Structure 1
Amino acid sequence: MARSDAAAKMLLTQFGIDEAPIDPVVIAEKLGVLVVPQDMSDDVSGMLLRRGDEQVIGVNQKHHENRQRFTVAHELGHLRLHRGRPLILDTDTRVNFRDTVSSMATDREEMEANRFAAALLAPEPMVRRAAREAEFRTAQQLALIMARRFEMSEVAMNYRLINLGIIADSTT
C-alpha cells in the first residue's frame, strides 16, 4: 500500500469514518485545521499555511464544490505527508520558492497529495463495494455514478477507478 493510501486510511480509521460521501472539511476541523473559503485567482486551487501550532487551508470559493472538496483533501495530504514547509500554494502554474526545499521533488509531493485526496474521498474498499452494487453498461457510466456517489468530479473519479484497476478507461 502506498504511503498516501496508508495515511488516508489511518485518518479515516482515526475518526471512525466508514461511509461515503466523506467530508474533508469535517476531518480538517477534527484535526484543528481551519478551512477558509477565499477569493483566489482562477489558477489557484488552494493553499496550506502552517505557523507554529496553527494550520489553515485556504480554498478557492469560485471553484466547483467537488473541486473544493478535493482541494481540501489534497491540502490535508500535504499536511499529513509533507512536513516542514510553512506555505504550500497549489496553482495550475508552477510556483518555485527559493528556500531549503526548492531542490526537492515537488511534483512527487503533488502526486502524493493527489493520491491521498483520492484515497481519502474514495477509499478503495468503499469504491469496490459501490462498483459491485452499481448498475451500468459502460465505464463512462460507472465513472459518472461513482462521481455522484462520492461527490467528486468525473475526471477525479475516472482516475481513481483506473488507478484501482476497476476500469481501463471510461471512454470505452
Structure 2
Amino acid sequence: MSKADIAARGLADEYELNQFPVDVERVAEGLGIIVVRQEGPEDLSGMLLRRDGQVAIGLNPAHPATRQRFALAHLIGHHQLHPRRDLILDTDQRITYEADRIGLACLPLDREEADANRFAAMLLAPPSAVRNAVHATPYGTAEELLRALAGQFGLSHATMGYWLIALGMIVHP
C-alpha cells in the first residue's frame, strides 16, 4: 500500500466517508482548508496556497463539477502528502496525455502528481467500494458500467474508466 493509499484511507476513516459521492468539500473544511472558486486560465483546474499558517484551495468554476471534485481531492492529496510546497498549480502543463487505444490514460509528469492523482482516486472511489458497485450494478457493456459508476462516484466518465483500468476491473479491447 502506497503513502497516498494510506493517507486517503486515513481521511476516509476519520471523516467516515462511506457514502458516495464523497463530500470532498466537507473533508477540506475539516482540514481547515478554505475553498474558493475563481475563474482563471482555461488550463488551470485549481491551486493550493499555503501562507501564514492558512491553506486555501482555489478551483476553476468554469470546469465541470466532476473536474472540480477531482481537482479538490487531488489538491487535498498534495496538502496531505507534500507539506513543504507553498504553491501548487493544477494545470494541464503538469500532465501528459497518452493517446492510447481508448483515449483515457493520463500520465503525470512527476511522482508528486502521480501520488496526488492516486490519493484523489482512492479518496473518491476506494477500490473496495468500486468492486462492490461493480458487482451490484447491472450492465451489458463496459460503457454502460462506466456511465453508471461515474455517476455513482461523482467522477468524469474518463476518470472512472482510467480508474477501473488501473484497478484491473475492465480492459478495453
TM-score for both structures, normalised by structure 2: 0.89
Indicate the RMSD between aligned Cα atoms, in angstroms: 1.4
1:166 pairs with 2:169: yes
Q: Deviations over 1:47-100 (max 9, x none)?
A: 000113200000001000010000000000000111201100111124xxxxxx
Match of residue 135, structure 1, among 134, 138, 145: 138
CA distance in 1 between counterparts of 2:63 and 2:26 reads: 19
CA distance in 2 between counterparts of 1:166 and 1:140 reads: 13
Q: Tell me which amino acid in the other structure corresponds to 1:6.
A: I
CA distance in 1 between counterparts of 2:109 and 2:9 reads: 23
CA distance in 1 between counterparts of 2:83 and 2:32 reads: 16
Q: Tell me which amino acid in the other structure corresponds to 2:83.
A: R
Please name the residue that 1:26 is paired with: 26
Q: Which runs of 5+ in 2 are unaligned?
A: 95-107
Please name the residue that 1:57 is paired with: 57
CA distance in 1 between counterparts of 2:153 and 2:20 reads: 6
1:43 pairs with 2:46: no
Please name the residue that 1:68 is paired with: 68
Q: Verify the 8 A CA contact 1:44 1:92 in the aligned structure 2.
A: yes
**Aligned runs of 1:2-21 on 2, under 5 Å?**
2-21=2-21
CA distance in 1 between counterparts of 2:22 and 2:85 reads: 27
CA distance in 2 between counterparts of 1:106 and 1:140 reads: 28
Q: Tell me which amino acid in the other structure corresponds to 1:52.
A: D
Q: Tell me which amino acid in the other structure corresponds to 2:38.
A: Q
Please name the residue that 1:101 is paired with: none
Alignment partner of 2:110: what SS?
Answer: helix
Please name the residue that 2:120 is paired with: 117
Q: Tell me which amino acid in the other structure corresponds to 2:73.
A: A
Please name the residue that 1:100 is paired with: none
Please name the residue that 1:150 is paired with: 153
Q: Verify the 8 A CA contact 1:50 1:87 in the aligned structure 2.
A: yes
Alignment partner of 1:93: what SS?
Answer: helix
Number of positions where the alignment pairs a residue of Structure 1 with one of Structure 2: 160
Alignment partner of 2:155: what SS?
Answer: coil
Alignment partner of 2:88: what SS?
Answer: strand
Which aligned runs of 4 or more in structure 1 are off by greater than 2 angstroms?
A: none
Q: Which runs of 5+ in 1 are unaligned?
A: 95-104
Percent identity (aligned): 46
Q: Verify the 8 A CA contact 1:44 1:89 in the aligned structure 2.
A: yes
